[in-house]
Structure 1
Protein backbone atom coordinates (compact mmCIF):
# COMPACT_ATOMS: atom_id res chain seq x y z
CA UNK A 1 0.00 0.00 0.00
CA UNK A 2 2.87 2.27 0.83
CA UNK A 3 4.39 1.57 -2.55
CA UNK A 4 1.09 2.23 -4.31
CA UNK A 5 0.69 5.47 -2.36
CA UNK A 6 4.23 6.54 -3.29
CA UNK A 7 3.51 5.70 -6.90
CA UNK A 8 0.23 7.65 -6.80
CA UNK A 9 2.05 10.62 -5.22
CA UNK A 10 4.76 10.50 -7.86
CA UNK A 11 2.14 10.25 -10.60
CA UNK A 12 0.23 13.18 -9.09
CA UNK A 13 3.42 15.25 -8.92
CA UNK A 14 4.18 14.39 -12.53
CA UNK A 15 0.63 15.37 -13.55
CA UNK A 16 1.00 18.57 -11.51
CA UNK A 17 4.29 19.38 -13.26
CA UNK A 18 2.71 18.75 -16.66
CA UNK A 19 -0.27 20.93 -15.77
CA UNK A 20 2.03 23.68 -14.47
CA UNK A 21 4.08 23.52 -17.67
CA UNK A 22 0.91 23.60 -19.79
CA UNK A 23 -0.41 26.51 -17.69
CA UNK A 24 2.83 28.47 -18.22
CA UNK A 25 2.67 27.83 -21.98
CA UNK A 26 -0.95 28.98 -22.03
CA UNK A 27 0.03 32.09 -20.04
CA UNK A 28 2.81 32.86 -22.55
CA UNK A 29 0.44 32.33 -25.48
CA UNK A 30 -2.15 34.58 -23.80
CA UNK A 31 0.48 37.29 -23.20
CA UNK A 32 1.60 37.04 -26.84
CA UNK A 33 -2.01 37.33 -28.06
CA UNK A 34 -2.54 40.35 -25.80
CA UNK A 35 0.60 42.00 -27.21
CA UNK A 36 -0.62 41.30 -30.75
CA UNK A 37 -4.08 42.66 -29.93
CA UNK A 38 -2.58 45.77 -28.35
CA UNK A 39 -0.34 46.33 -31.38
CA UNK A 40 -3.29 45.83 -33.76
CA UNK A 41 -5.43 48.26 -31.75
CA UNK A 42 -2.60 50.81 -31.89
CA UNK A 43 -2.34 50.42 -35.67
CA UNK A 44 -6.10 50.74 -36.05
CA UNK A 45 -5.99 53.91 -33.97
CA UNK A 46 -3.14 55.32 -36.09
CA UNK A 47 -4.94 54.54 -39.34
CA UNK A 48 -8.22 55.98 -38.02
CA UNK A 49 -6.43 59.19 -36.98
CA UNK A 50 -4.66 59.41 -40.33
CA UNK A 51 -7.83 58.94 -42.37
CA UNK A 52 -9.87 61.27 -40.18
CA UNK A 53 -7.15 63.93 -40.51
CA UNK A 54 -6.97 63.37 -44.27
CA UNK A 55 -10.76 63.55 -44.54
CA UNK A 56 -10.88 66.81 -42.57
CA UNK A 57 -8.10 68.29 -44.71
CA UNK A 58 -9.79 67.17 -47.94
CA UNK A 59 -13.12 68.56 -46.77
CA UNK A 60 -11.46 71.90 -46.02
CA UNK A 61 -9.83 71.91 -49.47
CA UNK A 62 -13.17 71.14 -51.12
CA UNK A 63 -14.90 73.89 -49.14
CA UNK A 64 -12.20 76.36 -50.22
CA UNK A 65 -12.55 75.28 -53.86
CA UNK A 66 -16.33 75.63 -53.56
CA UNK A 67 -15.95 79.19 -52.21
CA UNK A 68 -13.58 80.09 -55.05
CA UNK A 69 -15.96 78.67 -57.65
CA UNK A 70 -18.89 80.52 -56.09
CA UNK A 71 -16.88 83.77 -56.26
CA UNK A 72 -15.91 83.11 -59.89
CA UNK A 73 -19.54 82.39 -60.73
CA UNK A 74 -20.65 85.62 -59.06
CA UNK A 75 -17.94 87.57 -60.92
CA UNK A 76 -19.01 86.01 -64.22
CA UNK A 77 -22.67 86.81 -63.54
CA UNK A 78 -21.75 90.42 -62.76
CA UNK A 79 -19.73 90.63 -65.99
CA UNK A 80 -22.65 89.22 -67.98
CA UNK A 81 -24.96 91.77 -66.36
CA UNK A 82 -22.54 94.60 -67.20
CA UNK A 83 -22.19 93.39 -70.81
CA UNK A 84 -25.98 93.09 -71.17
CA UNK A 85 -26.39 96.61 -69.79
CA UNK A 86 -23.74 97.92 -72.22
CA UNK A 87 -25.49 96.11 -75.11
CA UNK A 88 -28.83 97.67 -74.17
CA UNK A 89 -27.20 101.11 -74.00
CA UNK A 90 -25.51 100.59 -77.39
CA UNK A 91 -28.80 99.37 -78.89
CA UNK A 92 -30.54 102.59 -77.71
CA UNK A 93 -27.70 104.69 -79.15
CA UNK A 94 -27.94 102.78 -82.45
CA UNK A 95 -31.70 103.37 -82.67
CA UNK A 96 -31.25 107.09 -81.88
CA UNK A 97 -28.52 107.41 -84.52
CA UNK A 98 -30.66 105.54 -87.08
CA UNK A 99 -33.51 107.97 -86.41
CA UNK A 100 -31.11 110.91 -86.83
CA UNK A 101 -29.80 109.43 -90.12
CA UNK A 102 -33.37 109.03 -91.39
CA UNK A 103 -34.15 112.65 -90.43
CA UNK A 104 -30.95 113.81 -92.17
CA UNK A 105 -31.87 111.78 -95.29
CA UNK A 106 -35.24 113.56 -95.38
CA UNK A 107 -33.42 116.91 -95.01
CA UNK A 108 -30.98 115.91 -97.82
CA UNK A 109 -33.87 114.94 -100.11
CA UNK A 110 -35.59 118.25 -99.33
CA UNK A 111 -32.35 120.16 -99.97
CA UNK A 112 -31.81 118.24 -103.22
CA UNK A 113 -35.37 119.03 -104.25
CA UNK A 114 -34.89 122.71 -103.43
CA UNK A 115 -31.54 122.77 -105.26
CA UNK A 116 -33.12 121.16 -108.32
CA UNK A 117 -35.95 123.70 -108.24
CA UNK A 118 -33.49 126.60 -107.90
CA UNK A 119 -31.36 125.16 -110.70
CA UNK A 120 -34.44 124.98 -112.93
CA UNK A 121 -35.39 128.58 -112.10
CA UNK A 122 -31.84 129.71 -112.82
CA UNK A 123 -31.89 127.96 -116.21
CA UNK A 124 -35.26 129.50 -117.04
CA UNK A 125 -34.02 132.89 -115.89
CA UNK A 126 -30.88 132.59 -118.05
CA UNK A 127 -32.96 131.94 -121.18
Structure 2
Protein backbone atom coordinates (compact mmCIF):
# COMPACT_ATOMS: atom_id res chain seq x y z
CA UNK A 1 0.00 0.00 0.00
CA UNK A 2 2.80 2.40 0.86
CA UNK A 3 4.37 1.92 -2.57
CA UNK A 4 1.39 3.74 -4.08
CA UNK A 5 2.10 6.91 -2.09
CA UNK A 6 4.91 9.42 -1.95
CA UNK A 7 7.57 8.87 0.73
CA UNK A 8 6.76 12.21 2.35
CA UNK A 9 3.06 11.31 2.66
CA UNK A 10 3.90 7.95 4.24
CA UNK A 11 6.25 9.53 6.77
CA UNK A 12 3.73 12.22 7.70
CA UNK A 13 0.98 9.59 8.06
CA UNK A 14 3.30 7.48 10.21
CA UNK A 15 4.02 10.44 12.48
CA UNK A 16 0.35 11.34 12.80
CA UNK A 17 -0.50 7.70 13.53
CA UNK A 18 2.23 7.55 16.17
CA UNK A 19 0.86 10.64 17.93
CA UNK A 20 -2.71 9.31 17.78
CA UNK A 21 -1.75 5.87 19.11
CA UNK A 22 0.46 7.28 21.87
CA UNK A 23 -2.14 9.76 23.09
CA UNK A 24 -5.00 7.22 22.98
CA UNK A 25 -2.89 4.65 24.80
CA UNK A 26 -2.09 7.13 27.55
CA UNK A 27 -5.78 8.01 27.70
CA UNK A 28 -6.74 4.32 28.00
CA UNK A 29 -4.35 3.89 30.93
CA UNK A 30 -5.40 7.06 32.76
CA UNK A 31 -9.16 7.29 32.29
CA UNK A 32 -11.72 6.10 34.82
CA UNK A 33 -14.21 5.33 32.03
CA UNK A 34 -14.56 1.60 31.38
CA UNK A 35 -14.61 1.12 27.60
CA UNK A 36 -14.69 -2.69 27.88
CA UNK A 37 -18.46 -2.67 28.38
CA UNK A 38 -19.02 -0.83 25.08
CA UNK A 39 -18.95 -3.84 22.74
CA UNK A 40 -22.55 -3.28 21.61
CA UNK A 41 -21.90 0.37 20.89
CA UNK A 42 -18.78 -0.54 18.93
CA UNK A 43 -20.83 -2.94 16.81
CA UNK A 44 -23.24 -0.12 15.99
CA UNK A 45 -20.31 2.17 15.12
CA UNK A 46 -18.92 -0.49 12.78
CA UNK A 47 -22.27 -0.89 11.05
CA UNK A 48 -22.57 2.88 10.61
CA UNK A 49 -19.04 2.95 9.19
CA UNK A 50 -19.90 0.10 6.80
CA UNK A 51 -23.07 1.77 5.54
CA UNK A 52 -21.31 5.12 5.22
CA UNK A 53 -18.51 3.42 3.26
CA UNK A 54 -21.04 1.94 0.82
CA UNK A 55 -22.62 5.37 0.43
CA UNK A 56 -19.20 6.96 -0.15
CA UNK A 57 -18.35 4.33 -2.78
CA UNK A 58 -21.47 4.91 -4.89
CA UNK A 59 -21.69 8.69 -4.50
CA UNK A 60 -19.39 10.78 -6.70
CA UNK A 61 -19.00 13.58 -4.12
CA UNK A 62 -15.21 13.72 -3.33
CA UNK A 63 -15.57 15.25 0.15
CA UNK A 64 -17.59 12.24 1.25
CA UNK A 65 -14.54 9.98 0.93
CA UNK A 66 -12.49 12.22 3.22
CA UNK A 67 -15.32 12.28 5.72
CA UNK A 68 -15.43 8.48 5.57
CA UNK A 69 -11.70 8.28 6.27
CA UNK A 70 -12.00 10.69 9.20
CA UNK A 71 -14.92 8.69 10.61
CA UNK A 72 -12.84 5.52 10.21
CA UNK A 73 -9.97 7.04 12.20
CA UNK A 74 -12.40 8.07 14.93
CA UNK A 75 -14.06 4.64 15.17
CA UNK A 76 -10.74 2.80 15.17
CA UNK A 77 -9.44 5.18 17.83
CA UNK A 78 -12.30 4.05 20.07
CA UNK A 79 -11.43 0.43 19.23
CA UNK A 80 -7.80 1.11 20.16
CA UNK A 81 -8.86 2.37 23.59
CA UNK A 82 -11.21 -0.62 23.97
CA UNK A 83 -8.52 -3.17 23.05
CA UNK A 84 -5.91 -1.45 25.21
CA UNK A 85 -8.17 -1.63 28.24
CA UNK A 86 -8.91 -5.29 27.49
CA UNK A 87 -5.18 -5.99 27.51
CA UNK A 88 -4.43 -3.94 30.63
CA UNK A 89 -7.26 -5.50 32.62
CA UNK A 90 -7.08 -4.00 36.08
CA UNK A 91 -10.38 -2.73 37.42
CA UNK A 92 -12.19 -3.11 34.11
CA UNK A 93 -15.13 -5.46 33.74
CA UNK A 94 -13.65 -7.55 30.91
CA UNK A 95 -10.04 -8.45 30.11
CA UNK A 96 -7.96 -10.73 27.94
CA UNK A 97 -6.53 -13.76 29.69
CA UNK A 98 -2.73 -14.22 29.59
CA UNK A 99 -3.17 -17.14 27.17
CA UNK A 100 -4.76 -14.81 24.60
CA UNK A 101 -1.66 -12.67 24.06
CA UNK A 102 -1.51 -13.46 20.33
CA UNK A 103 -5.12 -12.39 19.80
CA UNK A 104 -4.53 -9.24 21.87
CA UNK A 105 -1.43 -8.31 19.86
CA UNK A 106 -3.29 -8.93 16.61
CA UNK A 107 -6.19 -6.72 17.76
CA UNK A 108 -3.81 -3.83 18.54
CA UNK A 109 -1.93 -4.32 15.26
CA UNK A 110 -5.14 -4.18 13.22
CA UNK A 111 -6.32 -1.07 15.04
CA UNK A 112 -3.03 0.73 14.42
CA UNK A 113 -2.80 -0.33 10.77
CA UNK A 114 -6.36 0.74 10.06
CA UNK A 115 -5.67 4.14 11.60
CA UNK A 116 -2.48 4.44 9.52
CA UNK A 117 -4.22 3.54 6.26
CA UNK A 118 -7.08 5.97 6.87
CA UNK A 119 -4.70 8.79 7.79
CA UNK A 120 -2.66 8.03 4.67
CA UNK A 121 -5.79 8.25 2.52
CA UNK A 122 -6.75 11.51 4.21
CA UNK A 123 -3.41 13.04 3.21
CA UNK A 124 -3.91 12.27 -0.46
Q: TM-score interval w.r.t. the shorter chain? A: under 0.3
- TM-score, normalisation: structure 1: 0.24
- Larger relative contact order (CA 8 Å, sep ≥ 6): 2
Greater CA radius of gyration, 1 or 2? 1
